[in-house]
Amino acid sequence: LSSKAKDPYPDWKAGTPVPYAALCTTFSLVEMTTKRLIIMEHCALFLRQVMRLTPNDLLPTVLLMINKLAPDYAGIELGIGESLIMKAIGESTGRSLQVIKTDQKDIGDLGLVALKSRSTQPTMFKPKPLTVRGVHQGLMGIATISGNGAQGRKVDGIKKLLSASDAHNTGKVDITKDKGGPSEAKYIIRFLEGKLRLGLAEKTVLVSLAQAIVCHEADQRGKLPSTSDMEKGESILKTVYSELPSYDVIIPAMLSHGILNLHEHCKLQPGVPLKPMLAKPTKAITEVLDRFEGQTFTCEYKYDGERAQIHYVAKDAPQELSQAAPGANKDAAKGVASIFSRNSEDLSKKYPDILAKLHSWVKDDTKSFVLDCETVAWDTEEKTVLPFQQLMTRKKKDVKVEDVKVKVCVFAFDLLYLNGQPVVEKSLRERRELLQQAFTPVEGEFSFATSMDGQELDEIQVFLDESVKASCEGLMVKMLDGTESGYEPSKRSRNWLKIKKDYLAGVGDSLDLVVLGAYYGRGKRTSVYGAFLLACYNPGSDTYETVCNIGTGFSEQVLEELHAALSAIVIDRPKPFYAHSTGNQHQPDVWFEPQYVWEVKTADLTLSPRYKAGCKEGVDPAGGKGISLRFPRFIKIRDDKKPDEATSSRQVAEMYRKQESVTKNKGPAVDDDF
């Protein structure tokens, strides 16, 4: 920040809390542009100023920027619907709920409704300005309220924040100008809704944070930051965060030890779940052979269950083998184990049976580990795996070992940490050897994923057929040797390919889509929704882009269950971040909060003016048309995925282009990470 720049927050002096208004000004600057580099610059400048003046507030500042209160594994959710927010806006500004609802219909953005309500409200006294720390604490308080009268107390919490908001704003604010400007009320409400809608991706905040600290460290040395330090800083922070996705641990370490040494202080640790490595879809064994030409690879069964990451530290582990992170899940402290979903949610209460047996598979000298595996329903009589649907019938919470009816077997396919050391950088061949040395398989409880290292097309074909006979979905094919075969947390990597039996010569994969709306049923289906509007997710613009209507694949019972679940999240109008056709004949009868993700199969993909998927990926050179699914069919609910983990627009576009290139015989499409 230039020393000559006029300081708009004279109260913000070194050591004083960061004014929330200062953060909102940054938000407003970010909201006014779509250029990623400019967005990054605004964020980096602000974070640098926080480091200079109030480093203790860096953590809550970053958390508020990424619309989170704590790391995912802490399980802290605001869980506040639109109606509660409207109630709080009405009560805190003395306007009736009806007026708020009418405003919401006209304006379409509750953040702006709050701003409008706030700016037309006469203020009796000047409230104390909000601080970043105060807002974070206030929101945390709201999120952790439970028990009797929780809803009322949550509304009170929101009212408290709203009444203290915009203390500096005098007079009326024109909500049509500058997207409402840097209003605190607007951003508090959007935070509560779970979408700041700034076009500020989490990755951008991470890179800005790296830039800010490199500049800050250079400032302290009285030097200019070098380009190579900038690049190094970004790469270090990205790697560290992918292995230890917890700002609660990383930020204090970064402030104490500097960024260039961060990797020595922040390593993958039991207790902090990392986002798993994911695979790219393929449609033919020949595609796999083309990709891995000249390199060794291995095939494994693709089990159809639930991804699980098991973290463990033995009770008798010496200190150096049990580096449970200081800010980590306390359950994963020395002597206990945790199981996390692919979403980093704690599944320990769902699988107490696994935790109870774990010790019998772990060899004596295995003192700590992080294991990547799939839990699969198991038929104890036939001694075979059961379809995914069986696993779904298990209770999700507070399961008691003695009540477990559907037994599960754990199929381990990767090892990320062993005896105090991350092993992600080792080759898959080495990790597999370590895995096999560290555990003892027990039939029906713990097994290594069945694998085959043959490199010939015929062998792979036979192995694929065997996997399907063994009730698996197909194969995972993985690079086996060399640096490229390292474990890449949070990446959908081309070093892991999946071949699903069902999709050979089809589109290569199923899609996971978000339910945005529904149509009332006809005939036999009049009491339920008969069809639904689905969308993919565009992380770049933070929007949901419609991709199809779906009415096939549902049993009567499923339709009833969906009706009950979805009726609870009906909203009056589409959210401003839904990209959908505005034609009258294309509107669903009801709209929903973006909450549910469904797995959907399709015959193929086509272009249609009715849908918006991939519009921004340039799939239609003439513009206007989006991608849509032909003959979509419902497969299952994916409650291990959050809406922003749905299939991305880029993936849909990639599938469409691959299909195009196959039909036009142009060869495989360009491969990239999303």
Residues lying near ligand ATP in the complex (CB under 6 A): 278-279, 300-303, 307, 342, 374, 413, 449, 476, 498, 510
Whether the CB-CB separation of 385 and 471 falls below 8 Å is answered with: yes
Report in angstroms how near the CB of residue 414 gets to ligand ATP at its nearest.
7
Report in angstroms how near the CB of residue 628 gets to ligand ATP at its nearest.
20
Whether the CB-CB separation of 285 and 274 falls below 8 Å is answered with: no
* 383 assigned to active site: no
- Give the residue carrying structure tokens 């080495």: 430
As a whole number of angstroms, the distance between CA 162 and CA 157 comes to 9
**What single-letter DSSP state applies at residue 67?**
T
From the list 175, 373, 406, the residue with the least C-alpha distance to 276 is: 373
Chain centre to alpha carbon of residue 485: 24
Whether the CB-CB separation of 546 and 534 falls below 8 Å is answered with: yes
Report in angstroms how near the CB of residue 300 gets to ligand ATP at its nearest.
4
User: Whole-angstrom distance between the N-terminal and C-terminal Cα of the chain?
Assistant: 32
> Which segments of 108-261 does DSSP mark as H helices, in order?
110-119, 132-144, 150-164, 184-193, 202-221, 227-243, 247-257
* Shorter beta-carbon distance to ligand ATP: residue 278 or 518: 278
For the record, the structure tokens of 372 come out as 């990547």
* Shorter beta-carbon distance to ligand ATP: residue 335 or 454: 454
**Catalytic option among 116, 186, 283, 302:** 302
What are the distances in angstroms from CA 198 to CA 20, 29, 32, 459?
16, 9, 8, 51
Burial class (CB in 10 A: 0-12, 13-18, 19+), 202: middle
Contacts of 559 (CB under 8 A, 6+ apart): 521, 525, 528, 529, 530
Largest CA distance in the chain: 80
What are the distances in angstroms from CA 385 to CA 310, 353, 374, 465, 468?
20, 17, 12, 16, 11
* Residues across the chain: 674
Whether the CB-CB separation of 445 and 380 falls below 8 Å is answered with: no
From the list 599, 437, 573, 570, the residue with the least C-alpha distance to 105 is: 573
Q: What is the DSSP string of 153-192?
A: HHHHHHHHHHHHTTTT--S---TTSGGG-S-HHHHHHHHH
Encoded amino acid at 529, one letter: Y
From the list 172, 233, 415, the residue with the least C-alpha distance to 312 is: 415
What are residue 92's phi and psi, to 5 degrees? -80, -15
From the list 32, 22, 27, the residue with the least C-alpha distance to 1 is: 22
* Shorter beta-carbon distance to ligand ATP: residue 20 or 351: 351
Report in angstroms how near the CB of residue 96 gets to ligand ATP at its nearest.
46
For the record, the structure tokens of 295 come out as 């390199």
Whether the CB-CB separation of 192 and 80 falls below 8 Å is answered with: yes
* Shorter beta-carbon distance to ligand ATP: residue 182 or 276: 276
* Shorter beta-carbon distance to ligand ATP: residue 376 or 528: 376
Report in angstroms how near the CB of residue 511 gets to ligand ATP at its nearest.
9
Catalytic residue numbers read 302
